Copies of this chain bind each other. A is one copy, B any other.
Amino acid sequence: MRSDGRKPNELRKIRITRDYLKHPEGSVLVEFGDTKVVCTVSVQESVPPFLKGKGQGWITAEYSMLPRATQTRNIRESVQGRVGGRTHEIQRMIGRAMRTALDLTKVGERTFWIDCDVLQADGGTRTAAITGAFVALADAVIKLYTEGVLTTTPIKDFVAAVSVGIVDDQILLDLNFEEDSRAKVDMNVVATGSGMISEIHAMGEEHTFSREDMDKMLNLALAGIRQLVELQRSFFEVRGGLWLRKNVREASLEG
């Protein structure tokens, strides 16, 4: 039994609240236990210079935390005058995950800005961000289709992410902050609705792990992602490649 009463292979309570903000083309509040992340998608009618004239789209992700999302206050990156290494690492991962989800050759010369802002952090902010951002991104694509801007909804598959770690020699799913800070090995996995892997990042901070541990962790992560995709699925109706919104405002998964 874990400190919050979960079994090793159990997710925290997961909740996604759709249309969380009124301005963005897509927006959700995603909660993995006490971790709360606002994910918004903004559509810009142009692409970065290196893609101009190529007839395809682009996705860029940015990630930030409110100064007091954490136990002690963090200095704003705007005040420090630069974006830190951890932020870069996370937002690059979010961007890659979203580019896996969307067929960029079929969205025209548009940029989808994914903004993930952490209101409250309790471990797993990047995996919550990816899981929530997918829903906001699909909503934005469907909006473009509904408005006639796009003639299809070129979403390739669901994409979700979860963390796994080794804590006190036990492999645990979806670590909270307290577990994460004691973990010897920490792994984040991004995978699709059909079980294909988009990204794996496993690392032993000052520790190492065996090939066998790697296999077990990966199995557990993929099982967790299957559940997260089921939750995402409750927001959409997919028929013959066409994605549509179900009339669902909020959905949750009991841990």
Binding site for B on A (CB under 8 A): 21-24, 27, 34, 38, 40, 42, 44, 62, 64, 66-73, 76-86, 88-89, 91-92, 96, 99-100, 104, 113, 115, 117, 119-120, 191-192, 195-211, 214-215, 218, 222
A192 CB contacts on chain B under 8 angstroms: 208
Contact B23 A40 (CB under 8 A): no
CB distance from A85 to the nearest CB of B (A): 4
Contact B120 A21 (CB under 8 A): yes
Chain B, Cβ-Cβ closest to A84: B88
For the complex, give the distance between the alpha carbons of A113 and B74 in Å.
11
Contact B197 A117 (CB under 8 A): no
Contact A22 B34 (CB under 8 A): yes
CB distance from A159 to the nearest CB of B (A): 9
A22 CB contacts on chain B under 8 angstroms: 34, 120
A204 CB contacts on chain B under 8 angstroms: 100, 197-199
CB distance from A201 to the nearest CB of B (A): 5
CB distance from A110 to the nearest CB of B (A): 13
